[in-house]
C-alpha cells in the first residue's frame, strides 16, 4: 500500500482547530498518511521572528501536497509580506479552485459553480511604492500566466462535467491588462469546442451571482476579482465556514478553507470545520487522481456527502449557521455517518 506524505500548516487563530478537525477525519481514511508539520504564521513570527520556517518551500515541493489553516496577514506597511501570497508565488500555485454549492435549507440561493482564480499575478504581486502623498500599485498580468489558469479552467470543466466557462474581467476600462486576459481566454476557448465560452464584466458578475447564479458553471478570473467574488459566493452558500479551496501548481498543491483566522472566536471550540473538511476532500481527490487511487477519490465523495447530510439535516450546526454545536460536535456527526453501524 502506498504511503502518502502530506504537509500540515495549522495556521493562526482558528486554524489549529479546523485543521485538527480535518485531520481527525483523515484518520478515518484507510490509507497510510505521514503528516509533516510545518510552522508558519503570525504566532510563529512572534516566537521566531520569521513568518515561515526555513526550508518550508522545499519541504512542500518534496511532499507534493499540503493542507493548511488560515494565516494572519497584518495590514499596513512595515509588516511582513503575506505568507499566503508568498506560498502561492514560490510554489507556483497558479490556480485557486473554489467550488461553491448550495446546502438545502441553509443557502440563500440554489447554486453550483466553481471560481478558478488566477493565483500568482495581478495586484497581488505587491509591486508597490509611495512618494509623499501618492501611492502606486502595479498590476502584472502576463500571457503565460493567463494561459495556464485559463487552460486549467477548461480542463477542469471537462473533468467535472461542466458545460460552460465564463471569463470575468473589466476590459472595457482596463483595456490593456484585462484586455490581455480576455484575449487569451477566447484564443484558448477554440481548443475546447465542447465547452461554451462567454465573458462578463466583474461588476455584472457580482450582480448575476446574486440574481441569477444558475447562469454560471466555471468562472475564471484574475487574482483580485476572484478573491472578492469568492466571499460573495460564500455568503450565498451560507457561511465562509462552509467553503474550501484547492491551490494547484505543477506537481504541487495546497488545500485550505477560504475563511480567515477569526481571532475573535479562536480557542472557543465553535469554529465551523466544514471549510477545512471540504479542503481535505479536495486533497484526497487530488491525491487519488494523481496516483490512480480510486479508493481515495471515492472516500472524498463519501466525506463530502456526509458533510452535506450533517448540514442540510441540521445534525450539528455551529453558531455561524445559527446553531449551538461545537467544532468537535460537527466532526463527530460526520464520523458517525462514515462508520458502518454494528
Instruction: Summarize pLDDT for 230-277 with one digit per residue, the tens.
Output: 999 999 999 999 999 999 999 999 999 999 999 999 999 999 999 999
Domain residues for 338?
Answer: 1-81+266-342
How many structural domains comprise the chain?
A: 2
Is 118 domain-assigned?
A: yes
Residues 125, 190 within the same domain: yes
Is 175 domain-assigned?
A: yes
Average confidence score pLDDT of the chain = 94
Instruction: Look up residue 169 and give its three cell numbers.
Output: 474581467
**If you write DSSP's letter for every residue of 283-331 in order, what string do you get?**
HHHHHHHHTT-HHHHHHHHHHHHHHHHHHHTTSS--GGGT----HHHHH
- State the pTM of this model: 0.94
270: CATH: 3.40.718.10
Is 89 domain-assigned?
A: no
Is 219 domain-assigned?
A: yes
Is 9 domain-assigned?
A: yes
CB atoms under 10 Å from CB of 9, counted, come to: 28
- Give the separation between CA 22 and CA 11, rounded to whole angstroms: 13
Residues 190, 300 within the same domain: no
Is 300 domain-assigned?
A: yes
Residues 212, 140 within the same domain: yes
Predicted confidence (pLDDT) per residue in 10-60, tens digit: 999 999 999 999 999 999 888 889 999 999 988 898 899 888 999 999 999
Residues 289, 337 within the same domain: yes
Is 325 domain-assigned?
A: yes
Of the candidates 240, 211, 261, which has an alpha carbon nearest to the alpha carbon of residue 68? Answer: 261
User: How far apart, in Å, are the Cα atoms of 164 and each of 10, 43, 77, 167, 277?
Assistant: 36, 42, 41, 10, 27
Q: How many helices (H) and strands (E) does the chain have?
A: 11, 12
Of the candidates 265, 322, 325, 339, which has an alpha carbon nearest to the alpha carbon of residue 107? Answer: 322
Amino acid at each position: 500500500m502506498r504511503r502518502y506524505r502530506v504537509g500540515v500548516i495549522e495556521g493562526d487563530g482558528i486554524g489549529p482547530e479546523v485543521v485538527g478537525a480535518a485531520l481527525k477525519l483523515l484518520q478515518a481514511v484507510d490509507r497510510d498518511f505521514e503528516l509533516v508539520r510545518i510552522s508558519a504564521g503570525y504566532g510563529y513570527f512572534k516566537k521566531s521572528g520569521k513568518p515561515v520556517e526555513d526550508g518550508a518551500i522545499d519541504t512542500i515541493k518534496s511532499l507534493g501536497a499540503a493542507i493548511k489553516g488560515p494565516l494572519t496577514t497584518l495590514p499596513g506597511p512595515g509588516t511582513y509580506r503575506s505568507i499566503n501570497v508568498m506560498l502561492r508565488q514560490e510554489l507556483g500555485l497558479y490556480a485557486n479552485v473554489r467550488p461553491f454549492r448550495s446546502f438545502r435549507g441553509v443557502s440563500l440561493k440554489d447554486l453550483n459553480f466553481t471560481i478558478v482564480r488566477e493565483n500568482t499575478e495581478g495586484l497581488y504581486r505587491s509591486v508597490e511604492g509611495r512618494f509623499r502623498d501618492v501611492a502606486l500599485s502595479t498590476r502584472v498580468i502576463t500571457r503565460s500566466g493567463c494561459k495556464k489558469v485559463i487552460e486549467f479552467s477548461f480542463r477542469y470543466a471537462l473533468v467535472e462535467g461542466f458545460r460552460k466557462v465564463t471569463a470575468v474581467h473589466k476590459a472595457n476600462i482596463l483595456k490593456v491588462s484585462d484586455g490581455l486576459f480576455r484575449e487569451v481566454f477566447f484564443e484558448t476557448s477554440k481548443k475546447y469546442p465542447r465547452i461554451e465560452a462567454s465573458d462578463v464584466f466583474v461588476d455584472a458578475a457580482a450582480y448575476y451571482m446574486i440574481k441569477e447564479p444558475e447562469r454560471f458553471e466555471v468562472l475564471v478570473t484574475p487574482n483580485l476579482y476572484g478573491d472578492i467574488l469568492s466571499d460573495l459566493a460564500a455568503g450565498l452558500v451560507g457561511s465562509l465556514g462552509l467553503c474550501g479551496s484547492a491551490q494547484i501548481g505543477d506537481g504541487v498543491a495546497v488545500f485550505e478553507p477560504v475563511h480567515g483566522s477569526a481571532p475573535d472566536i479562536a480557542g472557543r471550540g465553535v469554529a465551523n470545520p466544514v471549510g477545512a473538511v471540504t479542503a481535505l476532500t479536495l486533497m484526497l481527490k487530488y491525491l487519488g487522481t494523481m496516483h490512480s487511487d480510486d479508493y481515495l477519490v471515492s472516500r472524498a465523495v463519501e466525506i463530502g456527502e456526509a458533510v452535506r447530510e450533517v448540514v442540510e439535516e441540521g445534525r450539528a450546526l455551529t453558531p455561524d449557521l445559527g446553531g449551538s454545536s461545537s467544532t468537535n460536535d460537527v466532526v463527530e456527526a460526520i464520523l458517525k455517518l462514515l462508520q458502518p453501524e454494528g
